[in-house]
Each structure stands twice: as C-alpha cells, then as structure tokens.
Chains A and B, each alone.
Chain A
Amino acid sequence: MGSAVTHAPATEDLTRDSEPRHGPVKSPRPAALKRRGRRENLAGYLFMSPWIAGFLLLTAGPMAASLYFAFTDYNLFDAPRWIGLDNFSEMFADPRWRHSVQVTLWYVVVGTPIKLIAALGVALLLAQKRRGQAFYRAAFYAPSLIGASVSVAIVWKAIFSDDAVVDRTQKLFGIDAGGWTGDPDLIIYSLVALTVWQFGAPMVIFLAGLKQVPRELYEAADVDGAGRLRQFWNITLPMISPVLFFNVLLETIHSFQIFSSAYIVGGGAGGNACGPADGTMVYTCYLYVQGFENSRMGLASAMAWMLLVAVALVTAVLFWSQKRWVHYEEGGR
C-alpha cells in the first residue's frame, strides 16, 4: 500500500484550476509559467495515479520482494529464512530443473522460427490484393485468440493422441510413431504445432508492415530486371525489418513463458504435472510445481529471477543485434 498519491480531490481541482489562464495576461511572466508547470505536474500525476499505485504495489514492490525471497527458504507458513545462494546452487544441481531449461529452450528455438516463417510466408501471400483476402486474414488470425484456452489444449491433446488423426496420417506415410502426446520425446512437438497454429497474430503485424513498403521500389526493381527472390531479399526484407524485429522480440519472450497449454496437454495435476516423463515440463511448469505444489516459494522466486535474467539477456542481444540488420527509415538509430 505504499502509494503516496490519493485521487479523491482530483477532478474538481483540475477543472477549476485552468480558469485563470483565460484572463488578460499579456506576456506570461516567469511566475505564471511556473504556476502553470506545477499545475500540469499535478494533473499529470493525478491522471497517472492508478498506474503509479499499480506499479508500486503490483510490479516494483513484488519484484523487490521476489528478489529477497530468492535468497531465502520460504514455505509460506514460517517467516523467510536467509540462506544466501543455496536456492541457486540447488537449482543448478537439479537435473529436473536442467531438463525444464532444455525443454523450454528447445520449444523456443524450434517453435518461434517456424511460427515466424509461417507468419511471414502467409503474409506475403495475403499481401496480394485478391478476392477473399480480408476473409482469409480474419480466419488465419482467429487461432491466436483461442490458442491459449483450455479448450484448444484439450482438443490438441485429442488430435495428437494415439490412433487419432495425426497418428493415422503418419501411418499413411509408413511412420508408426504412435501418438505424440503419449511420447515423452514427441509431446513437445505437439506444443510446437500449437504455437505455429497461432501464426495469425505476427502475420497481421507483418501484413501491416508490408503495406507500408513503397510500391515504387518494386517497380524500379522490375525495370532493373531483378527477380522476385532478389526483390524479396533486397527490398521487402530490409523494409520490414523493424516489424520483423518486433515480432521476433515479442514471440521469443512469449515462448519462454508458455504455461497453460503445456500444463493441460501434458496432463496436469498431481506428481506428473507436465507430461509423460516430464515431456512438457517447461520452465514455468516447474516453477509452478516448486512454488505451488511443493510450497517452495524461495526456490521458485530464484527460478523466476533466472527466467527474468534469461529474457533480459535475449532482449539485450536482440537490441544489440538490430544495428546490424534492422533498417529504420530516416537514418533511424
């Protein structure tokens, strides 16, 4: 409850305050300017007060608390006990933790590029103005809205289970792998398929970016006799690189945080929370298990901070790399 700002007297003050400004002041004297600046400050912070309260109470405060918990042994019932780096050394020595890191990285490294390539490919297809374009765009976008739901996870589990449609289709090609959801090694690919299925959201962003590429560039390239592939590589890709950067950043960060679908497709509940032989034990699943099933809040906080560090590192590397491959118009940064 550390917020210093109260917002009760906010609104009347604001409307009343601005009246004198209308008066016949010829040249704004420094005092008047100062007063006006102060009034703007007051208004600004009053309008911001919900956000500031939320930031302190629900973001900054909890982050600080979480950092503290990370160095304690805390089971919710007894007061947190400082144990230094023990949580971290336990974490790094835990094969199940290392497994969850591996599963998550694999999911991110395989799923994100496929999803983005699919999104870009379909966006290029839909960028052509043809009949039905708007319909396809809407239909392809729909999975992004429902993909995170429990319903779709249930459907996914069914479609990828033994003897269901994916399994039978494989058998047509002579592959008898059994259902993916029952196989510790394959089940992660059903989650990859689920995220790729939701390519619509980045696709819509790509489409908006493609629309802004000046047509003249392609016409000039046509005159010069550049082929479609050259045009894509030398015009389209550089021109949409800011949008590509945005999509890569957002999709990567989101992929690191996958939880619900892994939890539901994997089976959930009980000792085997995330998949046969921990097949879908992604990082956040293990964090949930440690924190909320084993009541190890200190250890789970340490895990959360490792996730934050990983995400921050990926973000930093992406921002650092954008100098090399992201082209902003008007010189940019």
Chain B
Amino acid sequence: MSSPDLSTSLGRGAPPSAPDGTPARSTRAGALRRRLPGSLAWHTGSLAILAVILYPVIWVIGGSFKNSEDIVGSLDLFPADPITANYTSLADGIADIQISTFFVNSLFLAVGSVVGIVVSCSLTAYAFAKIRFTGRNLLFTLMIGTLLLPYHVLLIPQYVLFRNMDMINTYTPLLLGKYLATEAFFVFLMVQFMRNLPRELDEAARLDGCGHFRIYWSIVLPLCRPALITSAIFTFINVWNDFMGPLIYLNEPGKYTVSLGLKMFVDQEGVANYGGMIAMSLVALLPVLAFFLAFQRYLIDGMATSGLKG
C-alpha cells in the first residue's frame, strides 16, 4: 500500500526499483526527486478540473446574492455588496402558491418512492438471489432487458393507461412503479449484494426451520443495509430531480414538484425576477447536495459495483 513503487506504477511516477536489489538509498532519493514534479503536476491537474467542476455551483451561489441585471452581465463570482432580496422574493411564492408547497410535494413523492423501492426491489432481489425456482433465469434475463429499455416507449401507453384509470393529476402514476419493482437497476444492485452474502448463514437458518420470509427479514435484509441505503439515496435524488414524470402527469400547480415549480418560475417570472429564479434554483439543489455530502461513500461505492459486474 504505502510502497512508493507500487503506488505510482500506474502513472508517470518513479520506475520500480531494479529487480537485482540496488541499494535502496540512491533509488529512493532519485525517486523522490522524480516524484516531486509528478506530484505537482497531479495536484495542478486535479485542481484545474475541480475548478471547472465547481464553477457552475459557485456561480449559482454567488449569483443568488446579486442584482438580477448583474447575474449574467458581471463576471465577478461574488457581488461587492451582496443582497438577500432574491431570497426574500421567494416568500411571495409563484402564481399564488407558496414555494414550500413544491418542497412538501417533492418530499412526499421522494419518501414514498424510497419506501416502495426498498421494499419491492429487495423482495424481488431475494427471490433472484436466494430461491431456486423454475423460470428464474428467464425472468432475470427479462429484468436485465428492462434496464436497457428506453423509458419513452412506455411513456405514452402508461399515460393512456393511467388516464383511463382516472389517475391523471394524482401521484399514483409516479409512485406505482416504485412499489412494483420496475427500477431494474436497484433490483440488480441488491441481487449482486445478496449473492455475495455467505451461503452458510441462510443454509443454517433453513436447517433450523426458518422459512424464506424469516430469512429475508431477519438475516438477508439487515446484512444488505449498504445496498438498501445506496438504493434509497439514489431513489430520493432521482425522484427529486425528475422532471418528465411530473411534467406529464401533474397539471395543477398546487400539486407541482420542485422541478415543475421551478419550470413554472422560469416561464412566468424568469424575466421579471431573474434573481429569484437563480435563488430558487439553488434552494432546489440543496437537498440533493446535502444527501451527497452525507452519503457520498454509499453513492460512489454503489456506482462502482454496478459497473464491475456488468
């Protein structure tokens, strides 16, 4: 781990010490001399990328404290005399609807989705990972197939279906799929996780006479916590950001989510209250950023494992 030879062998660092065992001192000093510029280049490069990555975020933070006319016009990231008028203007709401309404709606949808995904996807994943039943492989292939299916093929028929069931302008179309494990990515993530659990645990439980539900509930589910947390956070963020679903199914501003509220802001007051729009953009991002700061390990690990088994 800490050996300088190993740690740099990927990049342009020091070459490894010669296999014939030349005195360590001279190679190490040489390595250090050669490593220093490498280290400098590494940090310069990383910082440059970081600047590009962070620029839009810093821009929106600074912009939210500027006068509307300075937001695009001025290149200063932060204004000389910051104002809070953009934020206070949000208290007026949009089209007679309080901003907080959008947040409550989004929160309801996001939490409801998280519950649905965690329950339904873990049940499905348990069946794929731990129960040997006829047709399992076929169903698993179908499930993986839906991972690659473009959502837009389902968009219109699902809309027609929910319209016929009189569910337009309700949250049911946005929530139902979450309770029916239609998010194959999370099923897949949990299957991978459950397959890696030691077999002995559930075999021992079976010998003790535990049924599948007991094993699922008291053994597998607690051990799967990392996968469940990852799925929960991704779900929350995805639902919070979702724009197309609410755009299609919700048509009464009182039921709008934050994304739709923001879009309404753009259309109705984007010109008149540009600063307010920027401030609200930032406020809308805060929950996601908070989740990211709190749980980034889970998110990055979940992302990383998804690719390795693909």
B-side contacts of A145, CB under 8 Å: 237, 288, 292, 299
A-side contacts of B146, CB under 8 Å: 55, 59
User: Is A137 part of the contact surface with B, judged by Cβ < 8 Å?
Assistant: yes
Query: What is the distance, in angstroms, from A127's C-beta to the closest C-beta of chain B?
Result: 5
User: Is A233 part of the contact surface with B, judged by Cβ < 8 Å?
Assistant: no
Complex alpha-carbon distance, A49 and B257, angstroms: 30
Q: Are B11 and A124 in contact (CB under 8 A)?
A: yes
Contact-residue size bin, chain B (C-beta under 8 Å from the other chain): 35 or more
- Our pick among A47, A130, A263, A300 for the contact of B131 (Cβ within 8 Å) is A47
Complex alpha-carbon distance, A210 and B269, angstroms: 48
- Our pick among A130, A146, A288, A304 for the contact of B289 (Cβ within 8 Å) is A146
Given A149-B288, A208-B308, A132–B179 Cβ distance below 8 Å?
A: no
Q: Are B10 and A124 in contact (CB under 8 A)?
A: yes
A-side contacts of B139, CB under 8 Å: 48, 51-52
Q: Are A128 and B7 in contact (CB under 8 A)?
A: yes
Complex alpha-carbon distance, A138 and B64, angstroms: 25
User: Is A253 part of the contact surface with B, judged by Cβ < 8 Å?
Assistant: yes
- Interface 1/0s, chain B 46-59, versus A by CB < 8 A? 10011011101001
Q: Are B288 and A76 in contact (CB under 8 A)?
A: no
Given A132-B43, A207-B304, A301-B156, A19–B209 Cβ distance below 8 Å?
A: yes
- Interface 1/0s, chain B 237-277, versus A by CB < 8 A? 10011011000100000000011001100110000000001
Flag the segment in B23-31, B81-89, B121-129 that touches A: B121-129
User: Is A108 part of the contact surface with B, judged by Cβ < 8 Å?
Assistant: no
Given A207-B304, A210-B10, A246–B310 Cβ distance below 8 Å?
A: yes
B-side contacts of A269, CB under 8 Å: 267
- Our pick among B133, B142, B150, B277 for the contact of A154 (Cβ within 8 Å) is B277
Given A142-B292, A143-B53, A150–B214 Cβ distance below 8 Å?
A: no
User: Is A100 part of the contact surface with B, judged by Cβ < 8 Å?
Assistant: no
Q: Are B160 and A65 in contact (CB under 8 A)?
A: yes
User: Is B300 part of the contact surface with A, judged by Cβ < 8 Å?
Assistant: yes
Given A47-B216, A223-B19, A141–B300 Cβ distance below 8 Å?
A: yes
User: Is B219 part of the contact surface with A, judged by Cβ < 8 Å?
Assistant: no
Q: How many A-B residue pairs have CB under 8 A?
A: 315
Complex alpha-carbon distance, A51 and B59, angstroms: 43
A:50-91 near B, CB below 8 Å: 50-55, 57-59, 61-63, 65-66, 69, 76
Complex alpha-carbon distance, A21 and B208, angstroms: 9
Q: Are A59 and B149 in contact (CB under 8 A)?
A: yes
- Name the residue among A63, A155, A228, A243 with the largest chain B CB count within 10 angstroms: A155
Q: Are B157 and A65 in contact (CB under 8 A)?
A: yes
User: Is B110 part of the contact surface with A, judged by Cβ < 8 Å?
Assistant: no
Query: What is the distance, in angstroms, from B27's C-beta to the closest C-beta of chain A?
Result: 13
Closest A residue to B122 by beta carbon equals A47
Q: Helix, strand, loop or mixed for chain B's interface?
A: helix
A-side contacts of B12, CB under 8 Å: 228
User: Is B284 part of the contact surface with A, judged by Cβ < 8 Å?
Assistant: yes
- Interface 1/0s, chain B 154-191, versus A by CB < 8 A? 11111111010000000000001101111000010000
Q: Are B10 and A128 in contact (CB under 8 A)?
A: yes
B-side contacts of A291, CB under 8 Å: 155-156, 159
User: Is A25 part of the contact surface with B, judged by Cβ < 8 Å?
Assistant: no
Flag the segment in B68-76, B92-100, B224-232 that touches A: B68-76
Closest B residue to A161 by beta carbon equals B72
User: Is A189 part of the contact surface with B, judged by Cβ < 8 Å?
Assistant: no
Complex alpha-carbon distance, A21 and B277, angstroms: 65
Closest B residue to A203 by beta carbon equals B303
- Our pick among B123, B136, B304 for the contact of A205 (Cβ within 8 Å) is B304
Given A164-B72, A204-B304, A291-B156, A22–B151 Cβ distance below 8 Å?
A: no
Given A18-B206, A44-B131, A62-B158, A268–B266 Cβ distance below 8 Å?
A: yes
- Our pick among B60, B211, B258, B299 for the contact of A14 (Cβ within 8 Å) is B211
Given A54-B177, A128-B11, A287–B134 Cβ distance below 8 Å?
A: no
14 contacts between A and B (CB under 8 A): A48-B124, A48-B127, A50-B124, A51-B123, A59-B182, A128-B13, A136-B50, A141-B303, A142-B292, A163-B73, A209-B308, A287-B155, A291-B155, A307-B152
Q: Which residues of B contact A (CB under 8 A)?
A: 1, 6-13, 15-16, 19, 39, 42-43, 45-46, 49-50, 52-54, 56, 59-60, 63, 71-73, 75, 120, 123-124, 126-128, 131-134, 136, 139, 142-143, 146, 148-161, 163, 176-177, 179-182, 187, 206-214, 216, 237, 240-241, 243-244, 248, 258-259, 262-263, 266-267, 277-278, 281-282, 284-285, 288-289, 292, 296, 299-300, 303-308, 310
6 tightest Cβ-Cβ pairs between the two chains A and B? A54-B180, A44-B133, A205-B307, A62-B157, A15-B211, A208-B304
